[in-house]
């Protein structure tokens, strides 16, 4: 019987996930535009046998430019560069269904899968915020439900495009002078409320058939979307009870969509702040928190909560008259997570800013390598997680500490691989290579016609 194994992804985020990490003496505030820096981090994660590395993205200059480093390399471009300096680790890029078109994005992601020999993944986001909308000629962001309706049709089109070539379409028969069998490449002729796409894609089916489909929304619309499409879900869950309930909910929705719940990997984010002793870890956390500029952080918190910054007094709790989640058209699940965190722990605005500064609502764990490993094991073995999105507070030192001190403990406990056993990201996650849906549809139609 196969023993269940943890999945670990590295969430790369400039100098680290703590917003003040760039102010530490050893930090390079220009690193986020340095390819060699990203290559070094990717190799550390690959040497530690991580499943994948993950890049977030947004089509907007986000927040106050004075707060932390801004301006990032577009993730699919960066992953293409990282693909040639790594050989086994998966490569996941974020791309928006609201501000892309299916053909171009399907082609770009298929290209990364080819370049990486089957290691690509797509983190599917719908993109909240008026600022992003205005970068694409819109006066306001589309409604939350409309963004998810577009996203679902976007996935229909993209997967049809990836299936528009049969796996055996390319024969390269020099003697016969036939490179590709024309009847094995099909138009998709998609006609829907958001997209009209003829196809086929101008690239053969890639090594994984198509990239691993990852999703990060935890609203009701987001969970419904995950149940239909997601093969891995990145989520922010502050407690083990909430994480277990979330995992059960998403996997139930997958079953309702006729899917195997084991083919949906639930991967909460965790921000480990490590020290050889608890005291050492607490000292690093305190140093980082001292470097937060509270005036920047309050502005960002006010934008998230849709309130006037002046209504957020640093040494008082959040106001009682905050909007309901139903009134939020942006990132609903993140809004709710922040408000519930503040209410549950009776945090002042200043304390909440400190909690969010480390991981924007993801679980921050400060302690020794053994304590972090214990927490990971508990969440994994109780069904709260299939693995974790590792979000080091400081890079590269936080990744180095995790790889050198936490990963060996997980390996010794039999929870995490000591060597890669597969070559593709699907193999790392234990996911099947998707069957060609268009092929099955054609075969079914031919059978009906011949009967």
The answer to whether 58 is a known ligand-binding residue is no
CA pair distance 166, 204, nearest whole angstrom:
8
Provide CB contacts within 8 A for 176, sequence distance 6+: none
Structure tokens at 317: 């709790």
Which candidate, 133, 140, 47, 139, places its Cα nearest to that of 96? 133
The answer to whether 368 is a known ligand-binding residue is no
Alpha carbon 446 to its chain's center: 40
pLDDT digits (tens, 9 = 90+) for 254-276: 999 999 999 999 999 999 999 99
The answer to whether 57 is a known ligand-binding residue is yes
Provide CB contacts within 8 A for 285, sequence distance 6+: 273, 358, 366, 393
* Backbone φ and ψ of 101, nearest 5°: -115, 145
Domain ranges of the chain: 7-276+359-450
Helix (H) or strand (E) holding 11: strand 7-12
Q: pTM score, two decimals?
A: 0.88
Whether residue 164 contacts residue 210, with contact meaning beta carbons closer than 8 Å, is answered with no
Q: Is the CA virtual torsion 253, 254, 255, 261 positive or negative?
A: negative
Whether residue 195 contacts residue 152, with contact meaning beta carbons closer than 8 Å, is answered with no
Query: Quick one: pLDDT at residue 450?
Result: 54
The answer to whether 263 is a known ligand-binding residue is no
Query: Quick one: pLDDT at residue 401?
Result: 97
CA pair distance 15, 395, nearest whole angstrom:
5
Query: Quick one: pLDDT at residue 1?
Result: 34
Query: Quick one: pLDDT at residue 2?
Result: 47
Query: Quick one: pLDDT at residue 445?
Result: 56
Selected from 3.20.20.30, 3.40.47.10, 3.30.70.360, 3.40.50.720, the CATH number assigned to the domain covering 7-276+359-450 reads 3.20.20.30
Whether residue 342 contacts residue 363, with contact meaning beta carbons closer than 8 Å, is answered with no
- Report the SS3 class of residue 268: strand
The answer to whether 144 is a known ligand-binding residue is yes
CA pair distance 113, 80, nearest whole angstrom:
9
Number of Cβ atoms within 10 Å of the Cβ of 409 = 17
Query: Quick one: pLDDT at residue 446?
Result: 52
Which candidate, 44, 39, 32, 107, places its Cα nearest to that of 73? 32
Alpha carbon 286 to its chain's center: 28
The answer to whether 94 is a known ligand-binding residue is yes
Query: Quick one: pLDDT at residue 122?
Result: 98
Query: What does the buried/exposed string (b/e) look like for 324-351 if buried means 16 or more CB atoms within 10 Å of the residue's CB?
Result: eeeebbbbbbbbbbbbebbeeeebbbbb
Helices 332-344 and 294-305, axial angle in degrees (round to 10): 120
| Residues of the chain under the 50 pLDDT cut | 1-2, 448
Provide CB contacts within 8 A for 191, sequence distance 6+: none
CA distances, 278 to each of 117, 281, 366, 367 (Å)? 42, 5, 7, 5
Alpha carbon 438 to its chain's center: 28
């Amino acid at each position: 019987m196969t023993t269940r194994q943890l999945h670990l992804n590295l969430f790369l985020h400039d100098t680290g996930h703590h917003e003040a990490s760039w102010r530490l003496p050893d930090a390079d505030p220009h690193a986020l535009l340095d390819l060699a820096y990203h290559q070094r981090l990717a190799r550390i994660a690959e040497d530690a046998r991580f499943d994948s590395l993950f890049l977030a993205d947004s089509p907007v200059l986000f927040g106050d430019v004075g707060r932390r480093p801004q301006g990032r390399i577009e993730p699919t471009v960066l992953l293409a560069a990282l693909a040639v300096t790594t050989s086994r680790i998966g490569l996941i890029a974020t791309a928006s269904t609201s501000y892309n078109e299916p053909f171009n994005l399907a082609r770009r992601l298929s290209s990364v899968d080819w370049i990486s020999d089957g290691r690509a993944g797509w983190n599917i986001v719908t993109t909240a915020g008026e600022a992003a909308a205005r970068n694409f000629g819109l006066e306001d962001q589309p409604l939350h439900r409309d963004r998810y309706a577009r996203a679902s049709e976007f996935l229909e089109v993209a997967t049809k495009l990836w299936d528009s070539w049969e796996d055996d379409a390319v024969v390269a028969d020099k003697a016969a002078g036939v490179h590709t069998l024309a009847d094995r490449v099909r138009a998709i002729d998609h006609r829907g409320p958001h997209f009209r796409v003829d196809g086929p894609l101008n690239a053969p089916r890639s090594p994984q058939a198509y990239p691993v489909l990852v999703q990060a929304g935890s609203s009701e619309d987001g969970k419904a979307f995950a149940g239909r499409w997601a093969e891995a879900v990145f989520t922010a869950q502050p407690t083990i009870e909430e994480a277990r309930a979330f995992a059960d909910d998403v996997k139930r929705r997958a079953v309702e969509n006729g899917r195997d719940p084991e083919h949906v990997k639930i991967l909460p984010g965790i921000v480990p702040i490590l020290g050889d002793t608890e005291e050492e870890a607490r000292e690093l956390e305190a140093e980082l928190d001292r470097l937060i500029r509270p005036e920047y952080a309050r502005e960002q918190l006010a934008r998230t909560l849709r309130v006037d910054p002046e209504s957020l007094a640093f040494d008082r709790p959040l106001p009682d008259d905050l909007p309901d989640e139903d009134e939020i058209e942006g990132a609903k699940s993140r809004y709710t997570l922040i408000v519930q965190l503040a209410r549950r722990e009776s945090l002042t605005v200043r304390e909440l800013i400190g909690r969010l500064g480390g991981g924007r609502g993801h679980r921050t764990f400060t302690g020794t390598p053994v304590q972090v490993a214990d927490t990971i094991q508990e969440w994994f073995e109780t069904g709260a997680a299939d693995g974790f999105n590792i979000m080091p507070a400081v890079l590269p030192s936080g990744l180095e500490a995790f790889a050198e001190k936490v990963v060996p403990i997980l390996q010794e406990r039999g929870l995490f691989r000591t060597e890669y056993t597969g070559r593709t990201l699907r193999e790392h996650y234990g996911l099947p290579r998707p069957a060609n849906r268009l092929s099955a549809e054609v075969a079914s139609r031919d059978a009906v016609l011949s009967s």
